[in-house]
Amino acid sequence: MEIQVHELVGAVHDAAWQPWAVQYFFLIAISVTALLMALPAFVFGKTTDLRAARLALMVAVTTGITAPIALLADLHQPFRFWEFFVYTHKSSWMAWGAWIVPSYVGLLLLFAWSIHRPEFHRMGQDDWRFAWLFRLFSLGGASNGFTRPLGMLAGIAALGILTYTGSEVMVVRARPLWNTPFLPLQFAATGFVGALGVMLVLERSLCRDGTLEATLNHRLALALAVVGGLGIAWFAVALSGISPVHSEALASVAGFPVWKEIALWGAASVAIPFVLALALPRNTGLITGLIAIHAAWMFRWTVFMGGQAVPKVGSGLYDALMPTGITGLMGVIGTFGLWVFLMIVYTTFVPWTDATPPAHSQPHPAPARS
């Protein structure tokens, strides 16, 4: 029987998770993946990777501070945040996240501090205007033997973040686009893409080292290959029908031209930097980095705002995909602005170019500055 349905009267639902939520998931994924890329050098002593690790640590710290602020901004009752810790509901991934996020940020900051502590101490001994500040930062000492355990704990917390952020969204059965086992993997893979993108842009801005640029571009190509592979697998599983949830996810958006444009745009955002990074690993870092950042951000925007644009019971699409108005825009601009501010503070006050692993984890001494 052929049935045509025209909705004559229907309610429209606003997106309940605003652009701040997109910013949170974007920034926290970048932070944790950047930290994971910093660990080999700073925890396991792989000093050949030290220059990339310094960038990674800087990215992890600055985005790691910005992300929870974006999350708090998305809460409609931000002053009730303490209730997360008083009334923890064990069946809710968000409740677990409320414990994991501060643990991660705290361990990340302690880890970064311990790496820089010897340099803070040295700068505190010099005779200059801000010496008092660095004496304060170093807490009167230079030892940092606890860096490795702190790094390992921060790494475990980072894995916890990847697990909880992916699961929190994946378990929402009411939104087919979110309810796929691929989603946590896609969040993680695009997180690496975003982190490498930021590192490439920073490398072009702060270091301008062709060798480092090529290294980061090769890693970006690898991460993009994983993202592309996951995307192809997602479509293959959805089209094959072997996984009903994937088929439902595809069916929920397949009929809309705007989603076909999004899919093509997303594919281009992965393919173009992939080809550039492989074919021209030098002197393309700025463009591959920016496109990679765009790809990681766009993936989350599409998942969150696009996912909320798909009605659960009504017809057509809501307008959440492209919300108008200054509120949503301010969420995006505000969090990026905060990150830029933190970058300025970090590069001004933290001797990041001198960051080295603790002495006992340095099998191969490397030059301090790149």
Partner 1 sequence: MDTTRRGFLGAIGQVTIGAAASVAGAGQSASAAEGEHVPHWGMVVDLRKCIGCQACTVACIMENAVPEDAFRTHVSVYELVKDGKDPAMVMLPRLCNHCDDPPCLPVCPVEATFKAENGEVLVDASKCVGCAYCVQACPYDARFINHETQVADKCTFCFHRTQAGLLPACVETCVGGARNFGDLNDPESEVSKMLRDNEVSVLRPEMHTNPNVYYIGLDDVLDGRVAGEAAYHPEMAASVQHHGEGL
* Residue 225 within binding range of partner 1, rule CB under 8 A: no
Residue 267 beta carbon to partner 1: minimum distance, rounded to whole angstroms: 25
* Residue 128 within binding range of partner 1, rule CB under 8 A: no
* Residue 16 within binding range of partner 1, rule CB under 8 A: yes
Rg (CA), the chain: 22
Amino acid identity of 283? N
Residue 65 beta carbon to partner 1: minimum distance, rounded to whole angstroms: 21
The CB density around residue 91, as the number of other CB atoms within 10 Å, is 7
* Residue 5 within binding range of partner 1, rule CB under 8 A: yes
Candidate residues 98, 185, 296, 305; the one interacting with partner 1 per rule CB under 8 A = 98
Candidate residues 122, 175, 218, 294; the one interacting with partner 1 per rule CB under 8 A = 175
CA angle at 346 for the pair 341 and 349, rounded to the nearest 5°: 120
* Residue 13 within binding range of partner 1, rule CB under 8 A: yes
The residues, ordered by sequence, that sit 6+ positions from 261 with a Cβ below 8 Å of its Cβ are: none
Candidate residues 44, 69, 95, 214; the one interacting with partner 1 per rule CB under 8 A = 95
The CB density around residue 55, as the number of other CB atoms within 10 Å, is 26
Residue 170 beta carbon to partner 1: minimum distance, rounded to whole angstroms: 12
C-alpha 331/C-alpha 19 separation (Å) is 6
Q: Restricting to residues 143-172, which ones interact with partner 1 according to CB under 8 A? A: 168, 171-172
* Residue 84 within binding range of partner 1, rule CB under 8 A: yes
How far are the Cα atoms of 118, 140, 161, 317, 350 from residue 128, in angstroms, in the given order? Answer: 17, 17, 40, 61, 15
**Is the CB of 17 or the CB of 346 nearer to partner 1?**
17
* Residue 326 within binding range of partner 1, rule CB under 8 A: no
C-alpha 113/C-alpha 350 separation (Å) is 9
Q: Restricting to residues 236-295, which ones interact with partner 1 according to CB under 8 A? A: 252, 255
The piece of 59-67, 90-98, 114-122, 189-197 that touches partner 1 (CB under 8 A) is 90-98
The size of the interface with partner 1 (CB under 8 A), counted in residues, is 55
How far are the Cα atoms of 157, 215, 219, 307 from residue 190, in angstroms, in the given order? Answer: 19, 18, 13, 17
C-alpha 60/C-alpha 370 separation (Å) is 19
**Is the CB of 88 or the CB of 240 nearer to partner 1?**
88
Residue 196 beta carbon to partner 1: minimum distance, rounded to whole angstroms: 30
The piece of 44-52, 173-181, 270-278, 292-300 that touches partner 1 (CB under 8 A) is 173-181
DSSP state of 94: H
The residues, ordered by sequence, that sit 6+ positions from 99 with a Cβ below 8 Å of its Cβ are: 84, 85, 88
Tokens (6 digits) for 294 = 């765009």
Tokens (6 digits) for 347 = 């590069």
By CB under 8 A, name the binding residues for partner 1: 1-14, 16-17, 74-77, 80-81, 83-84, 86-89, 91-95, 97-98, 168, 171-175, 178, 252, 255, 308, 310-319
